């Protein structure tokens, strides 16, 4: 959680990379260049108003939580808890907090590209108010994600449940923003080939990652773990994208963005936090290109009907397709359908029928037999896609 901020940034304009990998068009004449990989020191709303419209690909916001602490928190041994009691987290009323929330959300929405998305994190103190403002202002909520902390701070008074999670809201700029980035396949591959769930079990920021001052005290009370930001950026941005953080704090977003080959724009009101962030980010070494290259998105690949495999001779009419255990056998028809007894249908329909299931991905279920070995028909589809790419 950072504070709001700005200052001048004189970074030279850099080549921007579009979502499709093409070089993005140059900024219009007269428009200020983006302060890429810079920290603007000052008020976040004033700084946002100076950024070009529709210029960022992703926003991560960790706004003040408005914790409304009524007094000092004390552990059972009478030691004082290092809680968030900074002035930047204090608001005169809920109405004042709501006005602030609407102001920065409107300012952020202006600088988001049409298909950009916003992530905002909060606790029970503020996230529901933020969510209502998001919807009131036209944002479209895609998911809420629960960050379950592996090592949460206990409830010392024993009068409430331990606050063991925070909530992230992921939203697009509007209901008509359909082309937003989401790396479904890459997330699934890194999660034991299971769909990534909306509950994330990630430890708090501790150890060497936690920034400390000369006295060994935390530089920032609510520094977020880099693993949390990495999952956000890997799921919803591409290498070369511009990631905006209007509450930059000690620069977790910037450090992760640099490591993963993204650009960042940070806005931070507190000069001490900004200085710590600059030093931190300067020490980050970006990963090599092969390590951060966007994984292929199967949903964006050209559609190849099964009939194309038949027409190309990769699969022959009259031959049988088998499952990986050779339990089911379906005959290929010249029109690209399969026959299983009296039933005729697509590779998906017949695959589901063979297993007694409501649905089936026929590409990963059916195999052709070649020289005594089974070849997945999806491998043949990949060959045709490669040919299509070469011909493009």
Q: Residue by residue, what is the 3-state secondary structure of 9-53?
A: CCCCCCCCECCCCCECCCCCCCCCCCCCCEEEECCHHHHHHCCCC
Based on the domain organization, do 186 and 313 belong to the same domain? no
Q: Is residue 28 part of a domain?
A: no
The pLDDT assigned to 1 comes to: 57
Q: How many other C-beta atoms can be found within 10 angstroms of the C-beta atom of residue 218?
A: 14
pLDDT at position 29 is 40
Q: Clarify whether residues 203 and 350 are in a common domain.
A: no
Tell me which of 232, 262, 291 is where a domain ends: 291
Give residue-wise pLDDT tens across range 74-108.
445 554 445 445 554 567 888 989 999 999 999 99
- The verdict on 189 and 64 lying in the same domain is yes
Q: Could you tell me if 258 and 348 lie in one domain?
A: no
* 32: in domain: no
Asked if the structure places residue 255 within a domain, the reply is yes
Count of helix runs (H) and strand runs (E) in the chain: 12, 14
CA distance 87 to 19: 40
Left, alpha or beta for 157 (phi > 0: left; psi -120 to 50: alpha)? alpha
Same domain, 376 and 272: no
CA dist., res. 246 & res. 265, Å (int): 8
Could you tell me if residue 299 is inside a domain? no
Residue 212 DSSP one-character state: B
On whether both 281 and 148 belong to a single domain, the answer is yes
- If you ran DSSP here, which 8-state letter would residue 104 be given? H
Q: Is residue 335 within 8 Å of 305, Cβ to Cβ?
A: no
On whether residue 24 sits in a domain, the answer given is no
192, 87: one domain: yes
This prediction's pTM = 0.71
- β-strand 320-322 against 112-122: which pairing, if any? unpaired
Q: Is 345 helix (H, G, I), strand (E, B) or coil?
A: strand
**Helical H runs in 122-194?**
127-136, 184-189
Q: Are residues 265 and 361 in the same domain?
A: no
285 and 364 both lie in a single domain: no
Among 266, 291, 316, identify where a domain stops: 291
Domain that holds residue 276: 38-69+76-291
CATH value at residue 244: 3.40.50.150
Do 324 and 227 share a domain, yes or no?
A: no
Instruction: Give the model's pLDDT for residue 350.
Output: 97
Q: Tell me, yes or no, whether 222 lies in a domain.
A: yes
Q: Are residues 322 and 200 in the same domain?
A: no
Q: Are 221 and 273 in contact (CB under 8 A)?
A: no
Q: Contact 245/253 with Cβ under 8 angstroms? A: yes
57 and 199 both lie in a single domain: yes
Domain-ending residue, one of 291, 316, 336: 291
Q: CA dihedral defined by 235, 133, 114, 59, rounded to 10 degrees?
A: -40
pLDDT less than 50: residues of the chain:
4-31, 69, 71-75, 79-81, 83-84, 88
DSSP 245-266: ESS-TT-HHHHHHHHTT-EEEE
Distance separating alpha carbons of residues 56 and 233, to the nearest angstrom: 13
pLDDT on residue 368: 97
Structural domain contains residue 365: yes
Structure tokens at 56: 């960022």
Q: Please tell me the number of Cα atoms within 13 Å of 239 on its side-chain side.
A: 15
Based on the structure, what is the number of domains in the chain?
A: 2
Residue 324 belongs to some domain of the structure:
yes
* Residue among 241, 104, 107 nearest 180 (CA): 241
């Amino acid at each position: 959680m950072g504070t709001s901020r700005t200052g001048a940034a004189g970074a030279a304009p850099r080549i921007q990379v579009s979502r499709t990998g093409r070089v993005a068009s140059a900024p219009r004449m007269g428009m200020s260049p983006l302060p890429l990989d810079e920290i603007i020191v000052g008020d976040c709303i004033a700084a946002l108003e100076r950024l070009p419209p529709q210029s960022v690909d992703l926003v991560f916001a960790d706004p003040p939580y408005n914790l409304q602490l009524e007094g000092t928190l004390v552990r059972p041994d009478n030691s004082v808890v290092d809680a968030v009691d900074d002035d930047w987290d204090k608001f005169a009323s809920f109405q004042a907090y709501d006005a602030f929330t609407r102001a920065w959300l409107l300012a952020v929405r202006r600088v988001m590209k049409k298909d950009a998305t916003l992530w905002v994190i909060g606790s029970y103190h503020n996230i529901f108010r933020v969510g209502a403002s998001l919807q009131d202002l036209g944002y479209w909520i895609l998911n809420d994600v629960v960050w379950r902390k592996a090592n949460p701070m206990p409830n010392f008074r024993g009068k409430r449940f331990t606050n063991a999670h925070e909530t992230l809201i992921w939203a697009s700029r509007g209901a008509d923003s359909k082309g937003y980035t989401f790396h479904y396949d890459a997330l699934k591959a890194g999660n034991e080939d299971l769909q990534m769930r909306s509950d994330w079990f990630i430890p708090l920021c501790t150890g060497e990652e936690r920034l400390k001052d000369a006295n060994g005290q935390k530089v920032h009370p609510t520094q977020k773990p880099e693993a949390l930001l990495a999952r956000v950026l890997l799921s919803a941005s591409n290498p070369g994208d511009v990631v905006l953080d209007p509450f930059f704090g000690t620069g977790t977003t910037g450090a992760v963005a640099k490591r993963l080959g993204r650009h960042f724009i940070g806005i931070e009101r507190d000069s001490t936090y900004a200085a710590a962030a600059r030093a931190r980010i300067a020490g980050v070494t970006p990963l090599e290109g092969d390590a951060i290259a966007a994984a292929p998105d199967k949903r964006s690949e050209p559609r190849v009907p099964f009939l194309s495999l038949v027409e190309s001779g990769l699969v022959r009419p009259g031959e049988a397709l088998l499952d990986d255990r050779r339990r089911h056998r379906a005959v290929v028809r010249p029109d690209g359908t399969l026959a299983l007894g009296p039933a005729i249908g697509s590779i998906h329909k017949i695959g589901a029928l063979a297993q007694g299931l409501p649905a089936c991905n026929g590409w990963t279920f059916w195999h052709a037999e070649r020289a005594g070995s089974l070849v997945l028909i999806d491998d043949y589809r990949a060959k045709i896609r490669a040919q299509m790419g070469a011909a493009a």
